[in-house]
Chains A and B, each alone.
Chain A
Amino acid sequence: QKEVEQDPGPLSVPEGAIVSLNCTYSNSAFQYFMWYRQYSRKGPELLMYTYSSGNKEDGRFTAQVDKSSKYISLFIRDSQPSDSATYLCAMSAGSSASKIIFGSGTRLSIRP
């Protein structure tokens, strides 16, 4: 079993829709939860960063972490064609020898 599971999609929604992207994980030691956005032929860029459980909002983006269920989500409101990208969840235990574990990524397409 992979430590982090993510539905690869592809996911296609019309412009203006609310998008929900999700990951599950098995390692209860994870404390730091991230969402990266990767445009085609580019490196991933950090989009959202959350420590422990709870919600975090940044403009049209909201990240949720439910540690009891080992489940994280990213919501995109009023989606735009420019949001079309692959979204990768990532997690880390934050220890001194920590390394970031990535999900496989969900390919998202926003139709104009």
Chain B
Amino acid sequence: NAGVTQTPKFRVLKTGQSMTLLCAQDMNHEYMYWYRQDPGMGLRLIHYSVGEGTTAKGEVPDGYNVSRLKKQNFLLGLESAAPSQTSVYFCASSDLGDDTEAFFGQGTRLTVV
């Protein structure tokens, strides 16, 4: 029972490089989210999706792009990485409706040097 799986788990990028973080969920959830977690800042929403083919901006969307081509996958892209994007990234998913329990992946630790 995988739940929410994030790849990769760790990555070091040089400033200006690009990369894509993959999130996959096997619970048939409609909603998917990308958060970043920084010390003292808690979880901040980057982008989210309320269904296949839809995306929306969260609290801190600048410098990131997302795509939800398949219901089970939610991709987070960094086109030109900056040191300020050094963080732990969490993907989550939740079911449609009033019960908004979110299930989280294990996180991706990204360092931009």
Contacts and interface: CB of A to CB of B under 8 A. Distances in A.
Nearest to A105: B42
Interface residues of B, number: 26
B42 A46 contact: no
A49 B43 contact: no
Q: Is the interface of B mostly helix, strand, loop or mixed?
A: strand
B105 A43 contact: yes
A25 interface: no
A42 B4 CA distance: 13
Contacts, number: 58
Interface stretch (B11-19, B61-69, B73-81, B94-102): B94-102
A29 to B, nearest CB: 13
Interface in A39-74: 41-46, 49, 51
A32 B98 contact: yes
A94 B104 contact: no
Contacts of A46: 101-103
Contact of B107 (A41, A98, A99, A104): A41
Given A32-B98, A44-B90, A92-B100, A99 B105 contact: no
Interface of B: 4, 33, 35, 40-45, 48, 50, 56, 58, 90, 92, 94, 98-107
